[in-house]
Amino acid sequence: MSRSDSQIITSVGIDIGTTTTQLVLSRLTIENTASVTLVPRVSITAKEVIHRSRIHLTPLLEHHLINGEEISRLVEEEYRLAAVTPRDIDSGAVIITGETAKKENAKALLDVLAGFAGDFVVAAAGPNLESIYAGKGSGAGAYSAEKHQEIVNIDVGGGTSNFAVFREGQAIDTTCLNIGGRLLEIEPGGDRVTYIAQPMQAVLKAMGRRIRVGEVIQLEHLREIAALMAQSIVEVILSKNLSSLTGELLMAPPLSLNYPLNSIMVSGGVADYVYKDSPPCSVEEVSAFGDMGPLLGWMLREKIIAAGFALIKPLETVRATVIGTGTQSISLSGSTIHVQGQASLPLRNILVAKPFPRESAGIPAAAEEIGDFVRKSVSLLYTEGQTQHLALAFQGPRTLSFLDIQTLAKGIVLGVDEFIAGDKPLILIIEKDCGKILGQCLTALCGKHRELICIDQLCLENCDYIDIGKPLMGGRVIPVVMKTLVFDTKKL
């Protein structure tokens, strides 16, 4: 795409969660809005949703495996209803979230679905990344930027509750709690327990109760269970001193809570019931969808209001999801890159972490402080044991002096050391024209054995993705694809 051109593409977002699976087709207008003298930047200047699927129950096999054949059939059927084929799709995102991301065949399913999404981003989202996606999709990120205040989005699904705190549009803190509306399954429209997930066993143990599959359950007992679950969710945003149950069910480090927090937004499958005016009044109402989600939603509403938080209604609740991916392909000349070793290239779907938002006061003067920001940014997106590559994006050093470039290099090394293994490439994206010298400083610090890719004159944001191809023309040119996830958010 040239700097003056715009391009219209068809994109798809496929979201497979613990309880529900959905698909959104969109038409995106992509432009490079930077002037001729500035670095390339992907901007979505228009977006139109052209098809929303029904919200399907995620098909599983014996609670341990995702039914890949049924998922593929579901996607094929939605494509047919939208009158599109995989050949019509230019880009997309396939995201597996919640308890479903833990299923034994989740990775294989991603490979199967990749063919439905063109030039795609594909990921089994860990709890932190899922939290950020949900907060962007619900509109919490946009709300924080518009109102200039912190807000926490709690995305309550079937198996997990994902927390993301936003400030000025940027996620500043995340965590995840293993509590959701489908941890206890009940005969749809009935009162007999059909499944008890492991985290629910912990809830029952904390209550001193025992429930077995096949038992009939009473409304008062469901209320007690839902009340404790809702209290555990709210406890995460109230205090660092967590109960033993909440501590046991946390799937990531707790929120730091070193910021003011007065507003809450709730998204996810349970959220519709948070914003209802009356509670479910019978077991049959509670179990309408085969779980206890409606009651958990109502109890969460009561606990949030009792704790004194402002409850903000999101743009999207159950449909707070990605609607597609905007992409831009460019070729960079060798003068803008530093590549130390090429064994890993090409690389696809590299997740981008941006430690310093565009609105921040700038990069600190001390390497240790830079390292703290980098460490925090990486920890928000990094999941232990993940195989996905991660890139760091910066506007640049404080100045283009050698001392400031060297300080930035030292801070980067301090920040990534505990996350990025020595056998993974260290990938840096810099807006300012200093990629070669920054790469040389990093090589001096890390040694020539460390694979290093440093690219400048690109503008990327937190949670974007990037593909990097093999260098061409004797290393003088490297092909790059920038990808940005698109959410169907408008002003609140």
pLDDT in tens, 209-249: 999 999 999 999 999 999 999 999 999 999 989 999 999 99
Tokens of 198: 């492991």
Out of 312, 331, 354, pick the residue that ends a domain. Answer: 312
pLDDT at 41 > cutoff 80? no
User: What's the CATH number where 303 sits?
Assistant: 3.30.420.40
User: How many domains is the chain built from?
Assistant: 3
pLDDT at 315 > cutoff 80? no
Task: Identify whether 51 is part of a domain.
Answer: yes
| Residue 292 lies in domain | 140-312
Residues 231, 256 share a domain: yes
Alpha carbon distance 394, 435 (integer Å): 11
Tokens of 321: 């999801």
Confidence class for position 29, pLDDT limits 50, 70, 90: confident
Instruction: Specify the pLDDT at position 491.
Output: 46
* Full DSSP string of 177-215: ES--TTSEEE-TTS-BEEEE-HHHHHHHHHHT----TT-
Residues 121, 161 share a domain: no
Residues 245, 144 share a domain: yes
Residues 393, 247 share a domain: no
Residues 22, 59 share a domain: yes
Instruction: Specify the pLDDT at position 123.
Output: 67
Q: Which of these ranges, 54-63, 145-154, 371-380, has the smallest mean pLDDT?
A: 54-63
Task: Identify whether 326 is part of a domain.
Answer: no
Residues 180, 87 share a domain: no
Residues 219, 184 share a domain: yes
How do beta strands 426-430 and 390-394 pair? Answer: parallel
Q: Which of 61-70, 144-153, 419-428 has the highest mean pLDDT?
A: 144-153
Residues 286, 434 share a domain: no
Residue entry with tokens 């565009």 = 358
Q: Which of these ranges, 70-74, 128-132, 379-383, has the smallest mean pLDDT?
A: 379-383
> Which residues have CB under 8 Å from 78's CB, separation 6+?
23, 51, 53
Residues 154, 219 share a domain: yes
pLDDT at 281 > cutoff 60? yes
**Mean pLDDT of the chain, nearest integer:** 84
Residues 110, 144 share a domain: no
Residues 154, 106 share a domain: no
> Which residues have CB under 8 Å from 434's CB, separation 6+?
396, 397, 400, 405, 456
Confidence class for position 250, pLDDT limits 50, 70, 90: very high
Confidence class for position 468, pLDDT limits 50, 70, 90: confident
Greatest extent of the chain over all pairs of C-alpha atoms, in Å: 72
Out of 93, 126, 159, pick the residue that ends a domain. Answer: 126
Mean pLDDT over 39-52 rounds to 76
Task: Identify whether 483 is part of a domain.
Answer: no
Out of 126, 156, 177, pick the residue that ends a domain. Answer: 126
Tell me the residue ranges of DSSP E strands in 70-187.
Answer: 91-96, 119-124, 151-156, 161-167, 170-177, 184-186
Task: Identify whether 205 is part of a domain.
Answer: yes
Instruction: Specify the pLDDT at position 2.
Output: 46
Residues 193, 63 share a domain: no
DSSP 328: E
Alpha carbon distance 12, 9 (integer Å): 10
Task: Identify whether 364 is part of a domain.
Answer: yes
Instruction: Specify the pLDDT at position 140.
Output: 93
Task: Identify whether 479 is part of a domain.
Answer: no
* Rg for the chain, CA atoms, rounded: 23
Task: Identify whether 268 is part of a domain.
Answer: yes
Query: Considering only CA atoms, which of 192, 151, 190 is closest in space to residue 169?
Result: 151
Instruction: Specify the pLDDT at position 459.
Output: 82
Task: Identify whether 298 is part of a domain.
Answer: yes
Torsion of CA 312, 317, 319, 320, to 10 degrees: 40
* pTM of the predicted protein model: 0.79
Instruction: Specify the pLDDT at position 492.
Output: 45
Confidence class for position 268, pLDDT limits 50, 70, 90: confident
pLDDT at 40 > cutoff 70? no
pLDDT over 90 percentage in the chain: 40
